[in-house]
Amino acid sequence: MVRIGDAPGVRRTLIVAALVLSALFLLLPLVAIFAQALMSGLDVYWQNLSDQYTLAAIGLTLLVTLLTVPVNLVFGVFLAWLVTRFTFPGRRLLQTLIDIPFAVSPVVAGLVYLLLYGRNGWLGGWLDAHDIQIMFAWPGIVLVTIFVTCPFVARELIPLMQAQGAREEEAAVTLGASGWTIFRRVTLPKIRHALLYGVILTNARAVGEFGAVSVVAGAIRGQTNTLPLQVEQLYQDYNTVGAFTSASLLAMLALLTLAAKAALEWRAARRETAT
Amino acid sequence: MNIRIAGVDKRYGRARALEPIDLDIQDGELIGLLGPSGSGKTTLLRIVAGLEQADSGSIHFGERDVTQVHVRDRRIGFVFQHYALFRHMSVFDNVAFGLNALPRRERPSSDQIRSRVMQLLEMVRLTDFASRYPAQLSGGQQQRVSLARALALKPDVLLLDEPFGALDAKVRQELRRWLRHLHGELGFTSLFVTHDQEEALELSDRVVVMSDGRVEQIATPDTLYRRPSNRFVFEFLGEVNRLEGDVARGVLTCGDARLSVPGIDDGRHELLLRPHEIRLSDQPSHGAHLPVSVSAVVPVGAEVRLELEADWLGEPWQASVGHAEFDRLDIRRGRRLYAVVSQIHRFDASRPQTLMLEPAI
C-alpha cells in the first residue's frame, strides 16, 4: 500500500527541510542569545547580571509573576467552573469575553489601562485624589499582566471540564459531600494536569510580556523595568552584551517552562497507558 | 421508608417534561419507571433524588417532607447509567467516599470505615479488586462498585438511572437477578429507570409506565401484561400483531381471511394480538380461516420465532412456536399454514377489551 507522501525521496526531503528550518528559525537564535551574552566571557556576564538595575528588573518580574499566577489560577478555575457547571443567560457571551485578551494586541490593552487609570483617565482623577498610583508603578504592571494572561487557565480547563461532564460531581453530592469536598476530592484531581499546564503558560507569558507592560511602566530604570523592558533599554543604550545577558535569563526561563510542559505531557501520556 | 410523590411536575422552558404526577411507593418496594426516551422517567427520578427541582408538588420520604431538602441531605443512594465512578480513586476509596465525606463528629473511625467498605465489597463480590482503579474493571464490575458506593451510607432510598443500560445482554441478565436478590436481602425502597420492558417486568414489584411526561399505568408486571389500560401500554410492553377488518355479525373479514369474534359490534375494527397468542395448524379451524405463509424462521433458544405473511395482512405477523410443534408441522420458509388465534385485544372501544377465542394447546 502506498500512502500519499510516503515515497522515500519525499519523506527524506521533508524531514531534512523540517530539521533545517527548525535549526534556522528556532535553535540558531537561541544559541545566538547565549553566544552574545557570553561573548566577553563569564566574568562580564556575571557583572552584567549583578548590575543593580538588572537585579531590580529581575525582582520586579518575579513580583509581577508571583502576584499574577495565583490570581489567574483562582480566576481561571472559578470561570471554568461557572461556564461548565451552570447554565445562565450570558454564558456564551462570557465564554467569548474570556478570549478578549488573546484577540486584542497587548499594546492596545496597555493603552486601555492607561486611559482608565492614568492621571487624566476615567478612574485616574479619583485615584490621584486618594494618592494611589497605579500607572507607571508596579500595580499597573501587575494589572495589565493579569489582563493579558487571564485566559490561559480558563481556556485549558473549559474544554476538559465540558468533556468530563458533571456526573462524578453529581455522584459525590448524592453521597453527601459538601461543595468544597467535591472540588478538592473529585474535581481538582480530574483537572490537575490541565490546571498545571495553564499555570505554566500563564507563568511564561507573565514573565515575558512586553507590549502591554511597556505602555504602563513608563520605563523608570530600577523601578518599573521588568526583564523584557530591561533588555530593550540596554539594547537601546548600545550595551549589547548586557541586553543579551538579560535575554539569556528569559530564554532560560522559557526553556525551563518548556521542559516542565514536556514532563507534564509525558507523565499524562504514561498515566493514560497505565490505566 | 415509603415515598410519596404528590403533584410533581416540571417544565424546561416551554416544553413540559412532566405532567403532574402522583405516586405512592411502599416501604421496601422495588418500582420500575418504564418508558421510551423522552417520556420523563429520568426527570422524575432526578427530582426524587433532588438533582433537579420540581416546579410544584411535594415529595415525602416517610413523614419527612424532602421537597426543599438539598440532595446532599436527602439520604439517598444514586446509581448512574455510566457508573460515574471517581476515576482517579481506587475501588476502595470510591466506596469509602461517602463515609469519609461525613462531618467529623459523625464519621466512623478509619478502622470502622475499612471494615464497612470491605463488607460492601464482599456483598458485591469484588473484595479482590479493592485496590484497582475503575478503568481496570469491566462494565459490570464498575456498576457493582457504584452500587456498593451508593449503599455505603445505608440510604433510605436507592435510585437507579438505567443501571444496566450500558452493559451487554448476558451481564445485564446476571446483574438483574443479583439486584433482585440483594433487594430481597436488604429490603431497601428502590426506584429505577429503564426503557427495557423485560427488565422492568422482571425486576419490579410494580411498574410505572410513562410516555410524554405522563403516567400511563401503574400496576404489577402481571396486571400490566394481562390487563394493559391502554394501547400505548400494550404496544410498549411487547411485540404486537395487528389485524384490521370489517366485522359483520360476529365475523371479521379481511381479504380471504375470516375470524369469528363473538361480541364485537359491526363496523371496521383494529384488533391486536401478541405473538404467543397465535398458534399454527395445517388446516383452518371452524372459527378461524387465516391462511399465512412462513417468510422467516429464527430459532431462539427454547422457541422458534416465525414471521408470517399474507395478502390480507398489512405488515407481517410475528409468532413463536415450540420445537416440538415446529417439527410436527414441518415448518420452513415458504410453508403455507393456518393461523389460529387464542386471544385478541381491542383498544378502540371506551374500555380496553380482551376476547378469549380458541384455547391455545
* Rounded percentage of chain A residues whose pLDDT exceeds 90: 60
Range in A50-64, A198-212, A213-227, B65-79 the model is least confident about: A213-227
The candidate with the shortest Cα–Cα distance to B71, out of A169, A209, A14, A232, is A169
Question: What is the pLDDT, as a whole number, of residue A206?
Answer: 94
Q: Does B157 touch chain A (CB under 8 A)?
A: no
Answer yes or no: are the C-beta atoms of B164 and B175 closer than 8 Å: yes
Does B72 contact A173 at a Cβ distance shorter than 8 Å? yes
Q: What is the pLDDT of residues B331-344, one digit of tens each?
A: 999 999 999 998 89
CATH 2.40.50.100-classified regions of chain B? 241-356
- Residues of A with a Cβ under 8 Å from any B Cβ are 167-168, 170-178, 181, 185-186, 189-190, 275
**Confidence band (pLDDT; 50, 70, 90) for B56?**
very high
Joined together, the cell numbers standing for residue A103 give 484577540
**pLDDT score of A193 more than 90:** no
A-chain residues within 8 Å CB-CB of B84? 167-168, 170-171
- Secondary structure element (H or E) that encloses residue A62, with its range: helix A52-85
Nearest residue of B to residue A190, measured between CA atoms: B88
Work out the minimum CA distance from A275 to partner chain B, whole angstroms: 6
B chain contacts of residue A175, beta-carbon cutoff 8 Å: 97-98, 101, 149-150, 152-153
The band of A272, judged by pLDDT with boundaries at 50, 70 and 90, is low
Q: Hey, are the CB atoms on A181 and B101 less than 8 Å from each other?
A: yes
Give B76's contacts in chain A (Cβ within 8 Å).
174
CATH number of B241-356: 2.40.50.100
Tell me the average pLDDT across A14-22: 94
Average pLDDT over residues B188-214: 93
The C-alpha of A157 sits at a distance from chain B's nearest C-alpha, in angstroms, of 17
Q: For residue B165, give how far its alpha carbon lies from the nearest alpha carbon of chain A (Å).
A: 16
Alpha carbon distance B84, B146 (integer Å): 8
Check whether A255 has a pLDDT greater than 70: yes
What percentage of chain B exceeds 70 in pLDDT? 99
Catalogue the long-range contacts made by A21-26 (C-beta closer than 8 Å, 24 or more residues apart): none
Q: Give yes or no for residue A1 having a pLDDT over 90.
A: no
Give the Cα separation of A56 and A222 in Å (integer).
5
Q: How far apart are CA B348 and CA B251, in angstroms?
A: 17
pLDDT in tens, A230-246: 999 999 999 888 899 99
Q: What ipTM was estimated for this complex?
A: 0.82
In chain B, where does the domain assigned CATH 3.40.50.300 lie?
A: 3-236
In this structure, are strands B189-194 and B157-161 parallel, antiparallel, or unpaired? parallel
The answer to whether B133 contacts A181, with C-beta atoms less than 8 Å apart, is no
The torsion angles phi and psi of B17, rounded to 5 degrees, stand at: -90, -35
Instruction: Please enumerate in sequence order all residues whose Cβ is within 8 A of that of B305, keeping only pairs 6 or more positions apart, or say none.
Output: B275, B297, B298, B299, B318, B319, B320
Closest Cα to residue B73, out of A170, A180, A177?
Answer: A177
Residue B358 has pLDDT above 80, yes or no: no
Average pLDDT for A173-178: 94
pLDDT digit string (tens) for B81-94? 999 999 999 999 99
Q: Which residues in chain A are contacts of B146 at CB distance < 8 A? A: 171
Q: Would you state the pLDDT for residue B350? A: 78
User: In angstroms, rounded to a whole number, what is the distance separating the alpha carbons of residues A129 and A51?
Assistant: 36
At B361 the pLDDT is 46
Among A48, A47, A164, A150, smallest CA distance to A102 is for: A150
Q: Do A175 and B98 touch (CB under 8 A)?
A: yes
**What 3-state class would DSSP assign to A253?**
helix
The CATH number of domain B3-236, selected from 3.50.50.60, 3.40.50.10680, 3.40.50.300, 3.30.2350.10? 3.40.50.300
CA distance A177 to A181: 6
Average pLDDT over residues B240-251: 91
- Interface check B107 vs A, CB under 8 A: no
Q: What are phi and psi of A141, to 5 degrees?
A: -60, -45
pLDDT digits over B105-124, tens only? 999 999 999 999 999 999 88
The residues that bridge with B211 in the sheet, in sequence order, are: B214
Q: Give the mean pLDDT of chain B.
A: 91
Cα separation, A162 vs A181, in Å, equals 20
For residues B175-189, give the mean pLDDT. Answer: 89
CB contacts of A186 in chain B (<8 Å) are 86
**Residue range B285-322, pLDDT digits in tens:** 888 899 999 999 999 888 999 999 999 988 999 999 99
Contact flag B73-A176 (C-beta cutoff 8 Å): yes
The 10s digit of each residue's pLDDT in A88-97 is 899 999 989 9
pLDDT category at A129 given cuts 50, 70, 90 is confident
- Would you state the pLDDT for residue B359? 62
